[in-house]
């Protein structure tokens, strides 16, 4: 199990109520389940967001296939206005 931090941007930051928080998870899929549990608005925002793991785009990869390294930074980027 890796530890790291999640950074929230724009609407994700508002929905999470914080700009950043620590995590413990082995995959991006596991992390998404943990951070959205009991956070309905964050789950809605996350479902439309894109992700960077240590600066690299996740793209269309299955979240359960994205293994997180210890010390990873996961950034959640909701759609931004204007493109």
- Specify which residues 6 forms β-bridges with: 21, 74
pLDDT at res. 80: 79
pLDDT at res. 81: 61
Mean pLDDT, consecutive 10-residue segments, the chain of 83 residues?
96 97 98 97 96 97 97 95 57
Which domains are seen in the chain, by residue range?
A: 2-77 (3.10.20.30)
Cα 70 to Cα 79: distance, rounded to the nearest angstrom: 27
Question: Do the beta carbons of residue 50 and residue 58 sit within 8 Å?
Answer: yes
pLDDT at res. 82: 57
pLDDT at res. 45: 97
């Amino acid at each position: 199990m890796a530890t790291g931090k999640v950074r929230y941007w724009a609407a994700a930051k508002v929905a999470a109520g914080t700009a950043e928080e620590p995590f413990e998870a082995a995959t991006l899929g596991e992390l998404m389940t943990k951070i959205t549990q009991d956070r309905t608005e964050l789950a809605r925002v996350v479902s439309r967001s894109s992700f960077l793991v240590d600066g690299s785009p996740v793209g269309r990869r299955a979240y359960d296939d994205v293994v997180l390294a210890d010390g990873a930074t996961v950034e959640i980027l909701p759609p931004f206005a204007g493109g």
